[in-house]
Amino acid sequence: MPAPATFRPAGSGDTVRLGPGEYLTDKATSENTGGGYTMFEVVSAEGSGVPLHEHPWAEAFYVLAGEYEIRWVDDDEQVQSVTATPGAFVHVPGGRLHAYRPLSSGLTCKMLSINQPVGLEPIARKAGLRVDGPGAPPQDEPLPMEEFSAVFRDGGIRVDPRYLDADGGVGAWRRDD
């Protein structure tokens, strides 16, 4: 039997903060979709983002507000970059290095992140800090960086240190040297 239909009113869903400024509110969970996909509304604080990383599931981004720089490594090992504004869509197949960072200030960058099949959800539940909404203080203590990184590694996410930015990376991901 298929999973039941789901309705989520505006403003609903559980929110976690990953790193210093990535707020993920679940809009479609694995329970809602029978394990087919997940969808998060992502609000990104200025100075946050994720470095070039890969994972086995496909991920798509649909920008709702603000501007994001979205990057990926192509088949020729070249980093490609686009500025994604409201209405822009980017699909990244599983196994492809990709990254994003907000270009707008404050908490004005918002996008949907669709993950198929489910991959990010269990990581966000383990490593994320529960918050009442974007910008709200966390209800939990953050994991030590080693444990935080291990949750991502164990969940299938690999950050490629060859591609970390010269400034040491973005968000909670920093170069170790």
Alpha-carbon distance 6 to 32, whole Å?
A: 6
Tell me phi and psi for residue 30, to 5 degrees.
-60, -35
146 belongs to a structural domain:
yes
69 belongs to a structural domain:
yes
The per-residue DSSP string of 47-94 comes to: T--EEEEE-SSEEEEEEEES-EEEEEE-TTSPEEEEEE-TT-EEEE-T
In order of 7, 11, 61, 130, the CA distances from 141 in angstroms are 31, 25, 29, 9
5 belongs to a structural domain:
no
27 belongs to a structural domain:
yes
Q: Which residues pair with 17 in a beta bridge?
A: 23, 129
- The owner of tokens 């809602």 is 32
6 belongs to a structural domain:
no
Q: How many domains, in total, are found in the chain? A: 1
Alpha-carbon distance 15 to 137, whole Å?
A: 11
- The owner of tokens 């559980």 is 14
When computed from its CA atoms, the radius of gyration of the chain, rounded to whole angstroms, is: 15
168 belongs to a structural domain:
no
Dihedral sign, Cα of residue 132, residue 136, residue 138, residue 144: positive
105 belongs to a structural domain:
yes
Domain housing 35: 20-160
149 belongs to a structural domain:
yes
Percentage with pLDDT > 70 across the chain: 90
Mind listing the pLDDT tens digit for each residue in 15-41? 999 988 999 999 999 988 888 999 999
- The secondary structure of residue 2, as a DSSP letter, is P
pLDDT band at 177 (very low <50, low <70, confident <90, very high): very low
Mind listing the pLDDT tens digit for each residue in 94-104? 999 999 999 98
Say which CATH number the domain at 154 has.
Answer: 2.60.120.10
Tell me phi and psi for residue 69, to 5 degrees.
-95, 125
